[in-house]
Amino acid sequence: MNDLIQGLAVTLFHIQPSISQFLLDEAKRSGRAQAELNKVAARNAEASRGLLADCREILIRAGLAGQSVELATQPHNQGLAKDILDYAQNGLFRVL
């Protein structure tokens, strides 16, 4: 194992695609729209987890230990940059 990789821990973080404001607003008024919103959110989360798993496998093939790769995803909230910064600050991550 490469000395640079040994001891390295990585968090792969993905912001899920935003959901249309129309659907979000309609979900507040309609049970059917809420059900559709839930389906869209579940599809987004599943696609995100799949993407992250693929990326994790690439890192493992490159020599990083599997237990050193954390996967995290969340829905789009305030904007990509703000969501990433909030996650980093709440997780007390250190940028090298």
Q: Where are the domains of the chain?
A: 10-90
From 90, 92, 84, select the one nearest 14 (Cα to Cα).
84
Distance of alpha carbon 17 from alpha carbon 15, whole angstroms = 7
Condensed to tens digits (0 to 9), the pLDDT of residues 35-58 reads: 999 999 999 999 999 999 999 999
* Portion of the chain with pLDDT greater than 90, in percent: 70
Say if residues 14 and 73 touch (Cβ distance below 8 Å).
yes
Q: Tell me the pTM.
A: 0.82
> Which parts of 4-68 are beta strand (E)?
10-15
Per-residue pLDDT for 3 more than 60? no
CA separation, residue 9 to residues 5, 55, 59, 64, 70 (Å): 9, 14, 11, 8, 8
